[in-house]
Amino acid sequence: SAEDAAAPRFLAKDARTAGEREYAELGKAESASIWLPRVVIEWAKAHPDDPSAPEALHLAVVATHLASDTAGASLYSKQAFQLLHRNYPHSLWTAKTKYYY
């Protein structure tokens, strides 16, 4: 079949099947551009006094810049931006984060 022609010949059929199954699971996973800011926002809300929270929120906003899922990433980018500016208005990281993506 065409599917077999594209698969590396050195892989056994069960290895190709396992690879196809793993590839399908990866396709269901949340993109990093959504996962990272979501997790950072949850963490920053749970640890508002952690001195690394402003930097983490800044990096979460920056991480969405080249997102493949722009709609979902933009939502979390905005949330991280707003949390950063609301909770840490005098932070150097807030000053560096002038907009969200």
Residues with Cβ within 8 Å of 76's Cβ and at least 6 positions away in sequence, in order, are 34, 37, 38, 41, 60, 64
In this predicted structure, what is the pLDDT of residue 47?
A: 98
* Whole-number Å distance between alpha carbons of 70 and 75: 8
pLDDT confidence bin for 2, thresholds 50/70/90: very low
Q: Is the pLDDT of residue 1 over 50?
A: no
Range name among 2-6, 70-74, 80-84 with the lowest pLDDT average: 2-6
